[in-house]
């Protein structure tokens, strides 16, 4: 204990309790460094003998396989500053513990946004966003964290601070080290700082809900809308009964429109055309951003487990149907929400006991088509029983080497990632 | 000297015509678009299939021989210079577009497919491949992936890495490994993201799954004319600051304008100090409103004229100028060298002043044509190769310009890569710990350092014959 107190001060190191557990594992210590140098010192203490999981505000610690071992929960929420916002350069540099709501507030003053909209923006930190590769409906048009991240600083297993990328929007100097850490779930180092390019926030955002009798009909309408002349800002396919706003109780394609008033109006007309050709009804939701925020929260709404399937956009409808059928066979209720453009289907499963059965039935077909099915969220006990990640594909050997290279002694979140890395 | 039996085995693998070893034929391969340094390989091998690439690499692995990958040889940083690597492996015969999935907007292309061919193949479906380097009629997908290439339209659409979903990589061991793929979000580390931009030091990409984008419904293309570079730069900031994201925002200075006008006679104002080529694209709705804003910003920043392309012919003429700008340089000087720095976009006026100062200091003429919206500068240093002193001054000025980019918070390369050209400037950006992380990353893919050795990293530098260039490749 005293070693940690020496580094971060007595008030920022304490013994771990049940509320600090990661997948049921209680850390021996919870340590909150107040500077990058303190993060480095903490990593040096842990290196080679202790296992460390980095966390921001703990909003997404239910992602990933249970850690094999957990000694230190390293909380980065004291590193929460917006370091630099160059509005005219459209870049922002942030400390890893900075919550996305603060980022949004800062950028809003300049009419800008970081168009990444994961669940729980108030407690999601920059480090968590990157490590877990979180996204929301906006990825359909704005890309993922990897597409917006231009620079990173990471504390490596030897305690060294390593920088990759920079602060300019276009840069091919050296290897793309930022990519190494996006979606790595903190298994290769502790992210302490990140620079993003930002974009102008659309002047208007609204949504149009297309009520559909079935998921297949919603997927069909959604794909037609993606092909229309006005590309949507986002497009979510909601399974039966998902939307309070929805006209009717069937499935729905929910189309987010953003831009100038004229663009939104033209988009709205195109959506109505696609719908009326199919005999489908539409309803306009004026506050599109609010609806999007609610849809983004789907994967953290109460459920025993949340699966995430990845497939091709044209396969989303069939995957949702197969999922609903498998759930019926397993005698469990599921709710589905899909990002049609990206081919991502979230499945909220009501009962933990059914999760293993669904994985067993659905995963082989998805992986055969080079897609995937991940148990994105669930309790530690459930995750301990199943293969959380599935087959990462032929790159696994290289991934093992990456882990062995950058974290040879297994300090960073051991066991949390694919293939037990 | 490579052993004769090895050469014979390579011939049996890829066909007699797929192995080049006559000295006069090898001359073509002694440099790419960066011509200030040259070295000929002992042997060039041109496999016909991804499997042949793997076989060749397995053979080289068994013999412990280093190799350098090459696509069309249009690179601008000497990335394909065969230094300490006797064998060059050219992917130019891997020319098949293997699959087009219109509904999901994916295409699978072999490494030697020319960038432009991809867009040509999908245009009828209303789609295109967005990254568009100026060399797109010649450069290959494999080369684009190695360099993480950009182009004028990357301001809105992003660079190569944003459009590559999967690659098949022939590791230096000769093992073929498929990374990523048509479906997004495969669990695991972002190996595809690491391979893109690795400058061929992880192995040879043999095929790639690319993301396609929809062709915009409409375009608005402008030429804004300014009496000072500062005013044009302010207009760039103004456009970005107004929340507009043009598809392209390019600046050309007076020297380029004059050369272009002499070459193409499109009515460019030869007395102007700078012009901006601005393109908006997207849905027709809202495009006119955005156009009015762009025009207003230009006028507010003292544009003396804002021309709008009235039709596709006029638009094509403007783009022809931009994309062939380097070709027009031949009218200004026998030789030129293009730099590729980046600064935060608000610092464009500062870097232009620094470029002018470096030019004056070294008694050189410099023309500027660049991606202003991204802050990605391309000063073109003019010289005559017969004047050895001038060549030395070009190299010195180039170094100073890159140093100025870094001092302004930027980078030494936005889209051309480090190659051999900018090795000496790498320590300006990265410290020993950063570089150690990178060399360790490289060892994951290439533990023996046989893939494109002596590139990117300063300690990997060896002496290469530096001589005055004989020819220029226009990009």
pLDDT digits (tens, 9 = 90+) for B323-371: 888 778 888 899 888 899 999 988 999 999 999 999 999 999 999 999 9
Nearest to A168 among B217, B285, B343 (CB): B343
Nearest to B456 among A91, A174, A398 (CB): A174
Mark whether A84 and A168 lie in a shared domain: yes
Is B104 in Cβ contact with A314 (below 8 Å)?
yes
For chain B, residues classed under CATH 3.30.70.2190 are 218-328
From CA B315, how far away is CA B324, in angstroms rounded?
14
Q: Average pLDDT, stretch A286-310?
A: 96
Mark whether A128 and A187 lie in a shared domain: yes
Mark whether A243 and A381 lie in a shared domain: no
Looking at residue A338, which CATH number applies to its domain?
A: 3.30.70.2740
Mark whether A171 and A116 lie in a shared domain: yes
List, as own/partner pairs, every contact residues B308-314 make where C-beta atoms lie below 8 angstroms and the sequence separation is at least 24, other chains included.
B308/B220, B308/B221, B308/B222, B309/B219, B309/B220, B309/B221, B309/B222, B309/B223, B314/B221
| Chain B residues within an 8 Å CB radius of A311 | 183
Q: Is the pLDDT of residue B131 over 90?
A: yes
Question: Which residue in A has a C-alpha nearest to residue B290's C-alpha?
Answer: A260
Question: Would an 8 Å CB–CB cutoff place B215 in contact with chain A?
Answer: no
Q: Average pLDDT, stretch A324-351?
A: 95
Question: Would an 8 Å CB–CB cutoff place B16 in contact with chain A?
Answer: no
pLDDT digits (tens, 9 = 90+) for A304-335: 999 999 999 999 999 999 999 999 999 999 99
Mark whether A151 and A288 lie in a shared domain: no
Asked whether residue A414 is assigned to any structural domain, the reply reads: no
Asked whether residue A410 is assigned to any structural domain, the reply reads: no
Q: Which of A266, A296, A326 is the last residue of a domain?
A: A296
Question: Would an 8 Å CB–CB cutoff place B471 in contact with chain A?
Answer: no
One of 3.40.50.2300, 3.30.70.2190, 2.40.50.100, 3.20.10.10 is the CATH number of B218-328, namely 3.30.70.2190
Mark whether A321 and A213 lie in a shared domain: no
Mark whether A227 and A329 lie in a shared domain: no
Mark whether A9 and A157 lie in a shared domain: yes
Asked whether residue A419 is assigned to any structural domain, the reply reads: no
Q: Which of A296, A330, A351 is the last residue of a domain?
A: A296
pTM: 0.96
Question: Would an 8 Å CB–CB cutoff place B444 in contact with chain A?
Answer: yes
A 81-120 residues inside an 8 A Cβ radius of B: 86-91, 111-112
Looking at residue A131, which CATH number applies to its domain?
A: 3.30.465.10
Say how many Å lie between the first and final Cα of chain A, rounded. Answer: 28
pLDDT digits (tens, 9 = 90+) for B46-103: 999 999 999 999 999 999 999 999 999 999 999 999 999 999 999 999 999 999 999 9
Question: Would an 8 Å CB–CB cutoff place B104 in contact with chain A?
Answer: yes
Is B237 in Cβ contact with A88 (below 8 Å)?
yes
User: Count of domains in chain A?
Assistant: 3
pLDDT of res. B36: 82
Nearest CA to B91 out of B119, B63, B67, B72 is that of B72
Mark whether A208 and A156 lie in a shared domain: no
Mark whether A146 and A274 lie in a shared domain: no
Is A168 in Cβ contact with B410 (below 8 Å)?
yes
Q: Average pLDDT, stretch A49-60?
A: 97
Nearest to A182 among B159, B190, B371 (CB): B190
One of 3.40.50.720, 3.30.70.2740, 3.50.50.60, 3.40.50.620 is the CATH number of B333-416, namely 3.30.70.2740
Nearest to B193 among A176, A223, A312 (CB): A176
| Chain B residues within an 8 Å CB radius of A371 | 183, 186
ipTM of the complex: 0.97
pLDDT of res. B461: 57
Asked whether residue A372 is assigned to any structural domain, the reply reads: yes
Q: Give Cα B449 to chain centroid, integer Å.
A: 24
Q: Is the pLDDT of residue A416 over 50?
A: yes
Asked whether residue A53 is assigned to any structural domain, the reply reads: yes
pLDDT of res. B471: 35
% chain A with pLDDT above 70 = 97
Nearest CA to A96 out of A152, A166, A51 is that of A152
Tell me the DSSP string of B177-222.
Answer: EEEE-SSS--SS--HHHHHTTSTT-S-EEEEEEEE-EEPPSEEEEE
pLDDT of res. B464: 52
Question: Would an 8 Å CB–CB cutoff place A368 in contact with chain B?
Answer: no
Q: Is the pLDDT of residue A210 over 60?
A: yes
SS3 content of chain B, % helix, strand, coil (to 5): 40, 20, 40
What confidence tier does B221 reach under pLDDT thresholds 50, 70, 90?
very high
Mark whether A42 and A189 lie in a shared domain: yes
Instruction: Identify the architecture of domain B97-214 in CATH.
Output: 2-Layer Sandwich (3.30)
Looking at residue A273, which CATH number applies to its domain?
A: 3.30.70.120
Tell me the DSSP string of B57-80.
Answer: HHHHHHHT--EEEESSS--SS-TT
pLDDT of res. B469: 41
Q: Which residues, in sequence order, are CB contacts of B43 under 8 Å at separation 6+?
A: B2, B7, B10, B19, B20, B21, B86, B87, B88
Asked whether residue A404 is assigned to any structural domain, the reply reads: no
Mark whether A124 and A241 lie in a shared domain: no
For chain B, residues classed under CATH 3.30.465.10 are 97-214
Range of the domain at A43: 1-199
Instruction: Tell me the sheet residues that pair with A347.
Output: A307, A336
pLDDT of res. A327: 95
pLDDT digits (tens, 9 = 90+) for A151-206: 999 999 999 999 999 999 999 999 999 999 999 999 999 999 999 999 999 999 99
């Amino acid at each position: 204990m005293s070693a940690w107190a020496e580094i971060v001060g007595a008030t920022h190191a304490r013994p771990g309790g049940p509320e600090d557990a990661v997948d049921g594992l209680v850390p021996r210590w919870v340590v909150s460094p107040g500077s990058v140098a303190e993060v480095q010192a903490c990593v040096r203490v842990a290196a080679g003998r202790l296992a460390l999981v980095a966390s921001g505000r703990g909003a997404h610690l239910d992602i990933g396989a249970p850690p094999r071992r957990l000694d230190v929960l390293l909380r980065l929420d004291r590193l929460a500053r917006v370091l630099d916002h160059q509005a005219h350069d459209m870049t922002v540099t942030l400390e890893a513990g900075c919550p996305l709501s603060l980022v949004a507030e800062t950028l809003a003053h300049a009419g800008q946004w970081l168009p990444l909209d994961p669940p729980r923006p108030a407690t999601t930190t920059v480090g968590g966003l990157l490590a877990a590769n979180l996204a929301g409906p906006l990825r359909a048009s704005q890309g993922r964290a990897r597409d917006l991240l231009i620079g990173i600083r990471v504390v490596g297993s030897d305690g060294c601070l390593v920088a990759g990328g920079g602060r300019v929007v276009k840069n091919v100097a050296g290897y793309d080290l930022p990519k190494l850490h996006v979606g790595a779930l903190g298994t290769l180092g502790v992210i302490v700082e990140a620079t993003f390019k930002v974009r102008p926030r659309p002047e208007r955002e609204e949504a149009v809900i297309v009520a559909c009798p079935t998921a297949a009909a919603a997927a069909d309408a959604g794909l037609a809308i993606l092909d229309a002349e006005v590309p949507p800002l986002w497009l979510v396919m909601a399974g039966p009964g998902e939307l309070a706003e929805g006209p009717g109780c069937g499935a729905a394609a929910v189309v987010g429109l953003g831009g100038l008033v004229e663009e939104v109006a033209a988009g709205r007309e195109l959506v109505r055309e696609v719908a009326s050709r199919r005999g489908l009804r539409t309803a306009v939701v004026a506050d599109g951003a609010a609806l999007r925020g609610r849809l983004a929260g789907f994967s953290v709404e109460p459920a025993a487990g949340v699966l995430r399937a990845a497939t091709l956009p044209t396969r989303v409808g069939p995957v949702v149907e197969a999922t609903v059928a498998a759930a019926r066979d397993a005698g469990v209720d599921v709710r589905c929400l899909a990002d049609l453009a990206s081919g991502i289907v979230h499945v909220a499963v009501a009962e933990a006991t059914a999760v293993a059965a669904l994985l067993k039935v659905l995963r082989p077909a998805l992986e055969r088509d080079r897609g995937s099915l991940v148990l994105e969220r669930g309790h530690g006990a459930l995750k301990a029983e199943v293969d959380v990640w599935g087959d990462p594909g032929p790159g696994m050997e290289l991934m093992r080497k990456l882990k062995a290279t950058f974290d040879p002694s297994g300090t960073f979140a051991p066991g949390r990632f694919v293939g037990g890395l | 000297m490579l052993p004769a039996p090895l050469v014979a085995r390579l011939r049996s693998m890829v066909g007699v015509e797929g192995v080049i070893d006559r000295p006069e034929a090898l001359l073509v391969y002694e440099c790419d678009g960066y011509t200030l340094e040259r070295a000929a390989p002992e042997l060039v091998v041109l496999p016909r299939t991804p499997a042949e690439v793997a076989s060749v690499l397995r053979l080289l692995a068994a013999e412990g021989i280093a190799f350098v990958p090459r696509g069309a040889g249009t690179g601008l940083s000497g990335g394909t210079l065969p230094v300490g690597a006797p064998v060059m492996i050219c992917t130019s015969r891997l020319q098949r577009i293997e699959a087009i999935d219109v509904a999901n907007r994916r295409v699978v292309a072999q490494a030697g497919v020319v960038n432009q061919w991809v867009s040509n193949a999908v245009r009828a479906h209303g789609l295109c491949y967005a990254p568009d380097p100026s060399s797109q009629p010649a450069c290959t997908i494999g080369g684009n992936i190695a360099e993480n290439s950009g182009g004028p339209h990357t301001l809105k659409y992003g660079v190569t890495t944003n459009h590559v979903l999967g690659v098949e990589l022939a590791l230096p061991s000769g093992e073929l490994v498929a990374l990523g793929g048509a479906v997004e979000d495969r669990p695991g580390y972002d190996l595809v993201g690491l391979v893109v931009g690795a400058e061929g030091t992880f192995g040879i990409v043999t095929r790639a799954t690319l993301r396609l984008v929809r062709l915009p419904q409409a375009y608005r293309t402008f030429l804004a004319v300014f009496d000072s570079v500062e005013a044009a730069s302010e207009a760039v900031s103004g456009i970005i600051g107004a929340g507009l994201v043009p598809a392209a925002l390019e600046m050309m200075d007076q020297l380029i304008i004059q050369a272009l006008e002499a070459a193409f006679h499109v009515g460019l104002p030869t007395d102007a100090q700078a012009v901006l080529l601005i393109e908006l694209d997207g849905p027709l709705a809202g495009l006119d409103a955005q156009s009015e804003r762009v025009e207003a910003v230009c006028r507010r920043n003292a544009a003396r004229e804002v021309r709008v392309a009235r039709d596709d012919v006029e638009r094509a003429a403007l783009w022809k100028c931009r994309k062939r700008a380097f070709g027009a340089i031949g009218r200004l000087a026998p030789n030129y060298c293009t730099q590729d720095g980046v600064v935060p976009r608000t610092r464009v006026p500062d870097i232009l002043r620094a470029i002018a100062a470096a030019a004056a200091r070294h008694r050189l003429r410099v023309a500027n044509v660049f991606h202003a919206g991204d802050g990605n500068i391309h000063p073109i240093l003019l010289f005559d190769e017969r004047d050895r002193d001038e060549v030395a001054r070009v190299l010195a000025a180039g170094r100073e310009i890159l140093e100025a980019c870094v001092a302004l918070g930027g980078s030494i390369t936005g889209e051309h890569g480090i190659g051999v050209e900018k090795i000496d400037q790498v320590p300006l950006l990265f410290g020993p710990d950063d570089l150690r992380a990178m060399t360790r990353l490289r060892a994951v893919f290439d533990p023996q350092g046989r893939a494109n050795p002596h590139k990117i990293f300063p300690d990997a530098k060896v002496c290469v014959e530096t001589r005055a260039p004989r020819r220029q490749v226009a990009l």
